[in-house]
Amino acid sequence: MRTYSPMTARLVELLGASPLVIQVPEVPQAFATGTMTAMVTSSATGASTKAWEFVKNYYTTSAWHPKNVVVVNGRAFNALRPDQQKTLMAAAAAAEKNGWELAKARETNANKLLADNGMTVHTPTPAMMSSLSKIGDTISAEWLKAAGADGEAIIKAYRK
């Protein structure tokens, strides 16, 4: 099963499959040669790789939602005048809202493209989601062991 990071490799291991590092441009060849038979991906990547040529099912688990992030140096931000900080934060809020809308539209369009090309786009069963949730709990617990108190605080804030 295709992976592209240590986290996706661990997910694949816990699913009972063999993780393979396959970059997006190599996906069609890996499927065609039988190097891989499945992948965990967003519908956007499924659409861009024409996954319908190799697989017939896509499950909308909402595990991956591609996003973009802008990082600002704290000292540089704090050096701005208050009116500049306010303007920057307003622009960031508008960009965040727009980004979420674009991401939702991209997912909807990609899911439609998969279906229009013969793939069955499935809503996962409760049993499938429960199994994935248990795997998520395992991965979270492993991460928390390494992350320590800072990680605990992050997870606690996230779960509120």
Specify which residues 11 forms β-bridges with: none
Q: State both tokens at 60.
A: 């909308």
Distance CA 66, CA 100 (A): 10
Query: Environment class of residue 103 by beta-carbon count within 10 Å: exposed (0-12), middle (13-18) or buried (19+)?
Result: middle
Query: Residue 4: helix, strand or coil by DSSP?
Result: coil
pLDDT of residue 47: 94
pLDDT of residue 10: 95
Task: Give the distance, in angstroms, between the CA of residue 55 and the centroid of all CA atoms in the same chain.
Answer: 20
The ranges of the chain with pLDDT < 50 are none
Can you list the domains of the chain with their CATH numbers? Answer: 2-127 (3.40.190.170), 128-160 (no CATH)
pLDDT of residue 36: 94
pLDDT of residue 15: 94
pLDDT of residue 68: 78
Q: What residues have CB less than 8 Å from 2, skipping those under 6 apart?
A: 20, 22, 27, 30, 36, 38, 39, 40, 41
What does residue 120 show for φ and ψ, rounded to 5 degrees?
-95, 120
Distance CA 34, CA 5 (A): 21
pLDDT of residue 160: 85
pLDDT of residue 149: 93
Q: What pLDDT, in 10s, does the model give residues 40-51?
A: 888 999 999 999
